[in-house]
Amino acid sequence: MSLVEILGYLGSFISSLAVVVSLIYVAQEMKRSNRLARLSAIDALRDATNRFREVLLEGDNLAVWLKGMREPDAMTEEERYRWDELGLYLWDSTQATYLRAIELEEPFTVRRIGYSVRYASTGPGFARWWEPRRGRFHPDFVAFVDTHLGQPIDDLGPLDKRKIPRV
């Protein structure tokens, strides 16, 4: 075997080794990227929830929100409008977080949104608000909300990663 052949084999071996090392590096980077995306979904839920809480606590928005949940028939026209806008604000951001969590297969975030839907639908107001507005939302989110609508708040059952709906 000549020196040129040996160097050729050695070059092929080194390039094969470089490919394997590159694939390992890419796999690690993808794993880290997926982890960051999952954390981002959790952060998005927290941020959306906190933003809604801030809006809710401004002026008399909380009184309007609670009245809309508990006594929708007793609301004035202005209160109904504000209730509607608060609802759209909450559920538009909730839907975005839900769809992101589904895509990332993030069960904790999906579960937390289920809790939020159950809490928001404890009074008669949300179900009446939701029904005529369902068409504004993604069909998968609508199915998710419909599943949790009016269900007991504390009865979500154990966290099961296999039960994440697919979009």
Q: What is the pLDDT along the chain (167 residues), one digit of tens a residue?
A: 788 888 888 888 898 888 888 988 898 898 888 778 777 777 877 787 788 788 888 888 889 988 998 898 999 999 999 999 988 888 888 888 888 888 877 787 788 888 888 888 877 888 889 999 999 999 999 999 998 888 887 766 555 555 555 54
Total residues belonging to the chain: 167
Spatial separation of the C-alpha atoms in residues 138 and 120, rounded to whole Å: 19
Q: How far apart are CA 104 and CA 161, in angstroms?
A: 12
Non-local CB neighbours of 70 within 8 Å, separated by 6+ positions: 123, 124, 125
Write down the pTM of the prediction.
0.67
Q: Which of 111, 156, 151, 93 is nearest to 127 (CA)?
A: 151
